[in-house]
Amino acid sequence: MPNINLNEPATDAVNRTAREILTAFEAKDAVKVTSYYASDAVLATAGRPAAKDAGAVSKAISDDLADPNFKMNLSHEKTDVAASDDLAYRRGSYAVTATNPQTKQVEHFTGTYLMVFRKQGDGRWMVVEDFGV
């Protein structure tokens, strides 16, 4: 479960949450990664249909992390929190290495990502939209 510090500034909390997600990705811990996604989250990446519910998001993350060649690097560019203090986004670039399921060849992808976070009633920030293009 994500860490909660109710006195932490929102931008810091979103950035910390994003770092925790990346650490879980690097550890290939699909359960932990998925725990940062809201039940109504959407995960959309090039080359596959968008995952539009908790089960589909969990499967997409599990499938990625089951690939022994999967690696992801993010370069953070900007974090912004809405004046309402309940929505935020992070934007940047990514580099992914993964096995193409059709060709079985290792491929490298680069692009731009946008993650939207929504603050929960208990103070956690959870991903509600995660797009990589």
| pLDDT < 70 stretches in the chain | 1-7
**Class for the domain spanning 10-132:** alpha beta
pLDDT score for 2 = 52
pLDDT value of position 73: 92
Which contacts of 41-50 are long-range, i.e. CB under 8 A and separated by 24 or more positions? 41/126, 41/127, 41/128, 41/129, 41/130, 42/128, 42/129, 42/130, 42/131, 43/130, 44/130, 44/131, 44/132, 45/131, 45/132, 46/109, 46/111, 46/132, 46/133
pLDDT of the residue at 115: 98
Give dist(CA 45, CA 9) in Å, integer.
Answer: 30
pLDDT of residue 48: 87
